[in-house]
């Protein structure tokens, strides 16, 4: 993967949910990637007024047939050879997942070096599982083995690996168990470290962790932004996956700090700017 990660920036296909108000799903991924200088092709899996976690939402799920039609349209349009990466987020249903996997195959046929990055959105510590149970098996048996890199939170890492994830060490063990089924890289978020949290990257060439203070804020979408930024940095001027990790974590933590300080209900994504060459939080290599 090292040579792929140093590819010239082209286009990024991001397949995710979308909200009219707030910054989750594609409403969280598209702008920062464009701000970094990437061309972005968003394909929506749901269209909602706002994140369901706020209550009282309205909108609709996009059918698997419609997702397929949009992805096939990109193929017919003749642009897939310019796709440097696919970032897949919220699916909502197994049928949509199958349509997305077919899209992955089309991209790989046209652009063999494209990175396939999958955020296996299943649930979190606060809300538990918030997708159909069938998606657990779909991710475990089909999507994850076909992906290059995945972005589970601690809850999802434990669920998909079958390992209890309590700290950095157990997160690395769980990540390696998942890597044995296909992906070359696992990046786990929200891993407990005392009163702090770690983001842990485990790859075939090494393991790193970035530890940050816990922040209290109700905003949603930090994980969506993080996955997008990591992909964007990897395709940009970051020399390694670990460098991209430090930059992406620093960017997201800055947004969360502003949200906490200003008591915001949504990520202040409109104030986003990329991290400096020397990010605030640097990854530490692990010897596990």
| Pairing, β 123-124 against β 128-129 | antiparallel
With beta carbons less than 8 A apart as the criterion, state whether 221 and 25 touch: yes
> pLDDT value at position 5?
41
Taking only the tens place, the pLDDT of each residue in 67-99 is: 999 999 999 999 999 999 999 999 999 999 999
CA distance 274 to 99: 33
HEC string of 28-72 equals: HHHHHHHHCCCEEEEEEEEEECCCHHHCCCCEEECCHHHHHHHHH
> pLDDT value at position 272?
87
With a cut of 50, list the residues of the chain below it in pLDDT. 1-9
> pLDDT value at position 276?
64
As for how many domains the chain has, the answer is: 1
Residue 131: which of 143, 142, 140, 120 has the closest Cα? 120
Residues near 191 by Cβ (< 8 Å), separated by ≥ 6?
154, 157, 165, 167, 168, 171, 197, 198, 199, 200, 209
206: part of which helix (H) or strand (E)? Answer: strand 206-213
CATH number of the domain residue 102 falls in: 3.40.1190.20
Q: Extract the tokens encoding 287.
A: 């010897």
**Which residues span the domain enclosing 143?**
2-285
**Taking the model in full, what pTM does it have?**
0.93
């Amino acid at each position: 993967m090292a040579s792929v990660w140093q590819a010239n920036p082209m286009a990024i296909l991001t397949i995710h949910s979308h909200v009219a108000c707030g910054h989750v799903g594609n409403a969280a991924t598209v702008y920062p990637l464009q701000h970094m200088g990437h061309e972005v092709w968003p394909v929506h899996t749901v269209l909602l007024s706002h994140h369901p976690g706020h209550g009282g939402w309205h909108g609709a799920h996009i059918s698997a047939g419609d997702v397929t039609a949009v992805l096939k349209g990109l193929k017919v349009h003749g642009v897939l050879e310019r796709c440097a990466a696919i970032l897949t987020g919220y699916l909502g249903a197994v049928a949509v997942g199958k349509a997305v996997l077919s899209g992955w195959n089309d991209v790989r046929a046209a652009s063999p070096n494209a990175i396939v990055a999958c955020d296996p959105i299943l649930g979190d510590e606060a809300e538990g599982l918030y997708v159909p149970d069938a998606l657990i098996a779909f991710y475990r048996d089909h999507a994850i083995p076909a992906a290059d890199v995945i972005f589970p939170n601690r809850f999802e890492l434990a669920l998909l690996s079958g390992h209890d994830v309590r700290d950095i060490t157990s997160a690395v063990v769980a990540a390696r168990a998942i890597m044995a089924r296909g992906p070359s890289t696992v990046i786990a978020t929200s891993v407990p470290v005392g009163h702090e949290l770690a983001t842990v990257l485990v790859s075939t060439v090494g393991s790193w962790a970035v530890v940050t203070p816990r922040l209290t804020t109700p905003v949603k979408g930090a994980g969506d932004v993080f996955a997008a930024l990591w992909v964007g940095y990897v395709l940009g001027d970051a020399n390694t996956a670990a460098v991209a990790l430090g930059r992406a974590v620093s960017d997201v933590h800055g947004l969360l700090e502003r949200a906490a300080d200003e008591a915001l209900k949504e990520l202040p994504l409109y104030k986003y700017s990329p991290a400096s060459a020397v990010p605030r939080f640097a990854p530490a290599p692990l010897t596990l």
